[in-house]
Chain A
Amino acid sequence: MSYSPSDDIIAVQRGPEPGGLGGAYRAFGATLRGLRTTLGRLAEKPTTIEYPEEKTPVYPRFRGRHKLQTFEDSGLEKCVGCSLCVAACPAECIRVVAAENTPENQVSAGERYAAVYEINMSRCIFCGYCEIACPFDAITMGNDFELADYERSDLIFTKEMLLADSIERTPLRREGE
C-alpha cells in the first residue's frame, strides 16, 4: 500500500469558538452548572480524616519502625550479630557490634550476639533491605510511623528500644480491606 499524506490527518472534534455573545452565553451556562456541582458537595460529609485523633489503618506490608525479634519460648534474641543488615543497608544507618555468648551470659541462640544494635532513624529510608538480608528474621519492619522527636540524638534507636514493643499501636488494615 502506498503512502498518502492524507493518512496522517486525524479529524479532531473541536468545541465552539471562544468569545463573542455565544461564548458568553455558554460561559453563563457552564457557571450555573459549576455552582450546582459545588452545592452538591455542600450536602456531603467532609472526607477529612482528622489525623491525630483518627488514623488511617496501614496495610500489613507497610514498612515502619523496626523491631528486633526474640524467640517466644526461650526469650533468647534471634540476632546473632552477623552484620548482614549493616552490609545491606543503603543508608548506612545500622551499627552492630557483636560479642561472644558465654554459658553464664547466653543472650542469643547462636554463638555470638549483638552487644550493640543501633538504627539511626533520621537516616533510615525504610527500604526493608535489612529485613530481607537477615538470615534469622531477627530484624523486622513494624507498622509504626509516628517517629518524630525533638532531638536528633533521640532518633538513634538503641537495642533496648528496638526490642521493646511500641507504646502506641498503629491501626492495621485486615487482609483484603
Chain B
Amino acid sequence: MTIDSMPAVRTGEPPAPSGSPAPVRPERPTWRTRLTRADMRYSPYLFVAPFFVVFAIFGVFPLVYTGWVSLHDWHLIGDHTFVGLANYVELFADPDFWNAVANTFGIFLIATIPQLLVALMIANLLNRALRARTMFRMGVLVPTVTSVAAVGVVFGQLFARDVGLVNYLLTSIGIERIDWQADRLSSWIAIATMVDWRWTGYNALILLGAMQAIPRDLYDAASVDGAKPWQQFWRITVPLLRPTLVFVVIVATIGGLQLFTEPVIFGFGRMQGGTLGQFQTITMYMYENAFQRFQYGYGSAIAWTLFAMVVVISLLNVAVVRRMVRGAR
C-alpha cells in the first residue's frame, strides 16, 4: 500500500530523475552531468541512510532478540528452552489476553475518536488571527509537558471514589457517586479522559503545523466565491491536511494500542488493571508476564502479537481516513 494519497507522490518506479526529461543523450556526458546524474540517483539513499544506520545499530537487535525469545520458554532470570510457536498457541487460547485486547480496543475507541476531532477543531481555532496566540498554543501543549507524577496525583484526586472532585460534583447535583475503578465502563471513561487530556493538544499542534502550509490565497478565493468558514474548513483545510491526518491517525493508533502509562497510573501503579482486570491493557499484560511473572518468552510473544496487531489496525485506519476525507471533498 502507499501511505500517501497526494497525487504529487510517486510510487516506487525505477529511478527516473525528475530534472532531466530525456533518455540518454547522444553526446558524451560531461563530468558535470555525470555528477548530477549520480547525485540524483544516489543522494536519496544518502539522505535516508542516517536514519537506517542508527536503526540498524539500536533498533534491529532488540526487535530480533525479542522475536527469538518469544520462541522459547524463557524465565527472565533463569533457564530457557526452545518451544517453537507454543507461546503463540497458548496466547491465542488465553482468556486474559483477549480480555486485555478488548479493554485496549475499547479504551482506544472511546479515547481516540473524540481526541482527533477535538484536536482538529483546536488546530483550526489556533490557526486564526488570534490575540495572545502564543499563550493559547502554549496552553494547549501544557498537558504534554506535565510530568507523569503530577498527572497521577491530579487525576487520582479527580477520580477518587470518596474524595474525588468528579464524584463531589456528581453528588452535589444528586447523582450517586461512582466507584471509577470497579466497573469496566467507568474505568475506561476515566482512562480515556486522561489520555485525551494528555494528547489532544499534542495532535492539535501537529495539525496546526500542517495547516500553516496551506496557501492563504486558496481561502481568499473561496471567500470571494462566498464559501462560509465551515465550508472552507471541510473543502480546503481537511483535504489538504490529508497526509498529516494520516500521520496523526497512525501515531494515535500506535499510541492507543500500546496504551500503558495512563491505566497504570489509574491503577495505582499495578499491572493487573483492577480487581477483575477490567482495565488491563495489552501492554500491561505483557509487562505483567515478562517482568512480574518472569515469563519473558510469553511476554515477548505478546509483544510480537501486539506489533502485528498495530500494523494491521494502522493499515485499516489509513484506509478509512482516506475514504472519509475523499468523501468530504
**Are A and B subunits of one complex?**
no
Binding site for B on A (CB under 8 A): none
